Amino acid sequence: MSPSLGPIRCEKRLSKVNIMDEPEPRIDNAFLGQRPPHSIGLITRQTVPRVLETPLNKVDSFLTPTELFYVRSHSPAPKLDAKSYRLRIDGAVRNPFSLTYEELRQMPAVTRMALLECAGNSRVFLVPQARGAQWELGAVGTAEWTGVSLVDLLKQARLDDDACEIVLEGPDRVVPAEEPRPPAPLAYARSLSRAKALQKDVLIAYQMNGQDLTEDHGYPVRAIVPGHYAMASVKWLTRISAVTEPFAGYWQTSDYAYWDYVDGKPVRRPLGEIGLKSEIFRPSPHETVPPNQVYLVFGASWAGETEVTEISISTDGGQTWSQAEFIDPIVRYAWRRWRFHWVTPKEPGLYTLLSRAKAANGDVQPEKHDENNGGYVINHPLPIEINIAG
């Protein structure tokens, strides 16, 4: 028996939009290490389409350099030209319209720092192995994004009262590699709830880290949906459409979804908010570390719609925990880097390091992976095995 997709009606939730711009705290973006960004390369997980991972053990600036920001594409990048580009806003609106690239750039600009994380980040840690790109730690990064607030476009379009979701769509067409495979190529499209779409921080972006978007990162225009897994931040965006029923596209229900239960019956739900998570960037998995020395354990933590407030480190496989020190202040929707001074053991052998974050809302990282998430939302403490040299 096929699982139910749950109720198909939308709730009418007319959210108030907070248009207050809060000043962002000062961030030290300097590199802590010795190696300059231009001497580091991305890790290839797949060649066509491009799936490239950030070597986080070698990158420690607050903003991830664009050339080192991970890449996840479902198809080769479409060839779009800024001069002929059009962004269409239509559907359940009273004033459908389209914008050229130049018209979009002439609108009031907003710049925000936001983290993007692939929903399958850290999939390599799952046992048994799950299908999909075998990411280790580096399908995540924080960047500075500049563009137009989606809410400004929706105000101009004048949403219908019964519009409950906003569908973001790109021009790329692809037949998914995994079952169930549709009979024809599909456009990549994801939807946001009306409430999320009306948040000021959701951007239609044309710049990354102060420069125009690169082709791999969505040139000429992409969505940035802070607090949600990166599949929501549709690249090469060409259409924004309001709908009056929940969107049930492939990338919303078959893929990038999880299992939930209603009255004991399984239903598919779309993934959305990023799970509370922390990662150890250094030492790297299986690195050999000298004995009886002070080693600077380094990493970062992040969350979706809340903030990380505490970080604990275990150097004995989870038997005991110690508080680590944050390097960064809280920046909504960005990561917080942290460090921990560890006196390495005198005895050689294999040791397991773990990190565990706590959020402002009281949430703590789960002890283990939730199997209802399949190969996604890998946000339990990840075991980093290292060797103490003999």
| Residue pLDDT, tens place only, 43-100 | 999 999 999 999 999 998 999 999 999 999 999 999 999 999 999 999 999 999 999 9
pLDDT at 144 over 50: yes
The pLDDT value recorded for residue 36 is 54
Rounded-to-10 torsion of CA 229, 378, 61, 385: -170
Alpha carbon distance 172, 122 (integer Å): 26
166 and 293 together in one domain: no
* Domain end residue (candidates: 245, 270, 295): 270
Task: With respect to residue 377, please indicate whether it lies within any of the assigned structural domains.
Answer: yes
pLDDT at 13 over 50: no
Alpha carbon distance 313, 382 (integer Å): 11
Alpha carbon distance 141, 37 (integer Å): 14
Question: Which helix (H) or strand (E) segment is 322 a member of?
Answer: strand 322-323
**Pairing relationship of beta strands 97-100 and 86-91 according to DSSP bridges:** antiparallel
CATH classification of the domain holding 240: 3.90.420.10
The pLDDT value recorded for residue 188 is 95
Task: With respect to residue 8, please indicate whether it lies within any of the assigned structural domains.
Answer: no
264 and 308 together in one domain: no
| 3-state SS assignment for residue 16 | coil
Which tops the pLDDT comparison, 17 or 244? 244
Task: With respect to residue 14, please indicate whether it lies within any of the assigned structural domains.
Answer: no
64 and 135 together in one domain: yes
Overall number of domains in the chain? 2
281 and 350 together in one domain: yes
The pLDDT value recorded for residue 286 is 97
Beta-carbon count within 10 A of 103 CB: 13
User: Whole-model pTM?
Assistant: 0.92
**What are the pLDDT digits (tens) for 353-377?**
999 999 999 999 999 999 999 999 9
pLDDT at 28 over 90: no
281 and 266 together in one domain: no
Give the mean model confidence (pLDDT) for residues 228-246. 98
Task: With respect to residue 4, please indicate whether it lies within any of the assigned structural domains.
Answer: no
383 and 246 together in one domain: no
Q: Which residues contact 253 (CB under 8 A, 6 or more apart)?
A: 5, 268, 270
* Domain end residue (candidates: 270, 292, 324): 270
CATH classification of the domain holding 377: 2.60.40.650
* Domain end residue (candidates: 270, 289, 316): 270
The pLDDT value recorded for residue 175 is 84
Lowest-confidence pick of 9-23, 144-158, 168-182 = 9-23
pLDDT at 341 over 70: yes
182 and 286 together in one domain: no
The pLDDT value recorded for residue 237 is 98
332 and 225 together in one domain: no
Task: With respect to residue 10, please indicate whether it lies within any of the assigned structural domains.
Answer: no
Alpha carbon distance 37, 59 (integer Å): 7
Beta-carbon count within 10 A of 110 CB: 19
As a whole number, the mean pLDDT across the chain is 91
232 and 349 together in one domain: no
Domain enclosing residue 213, as ranges: 37-270
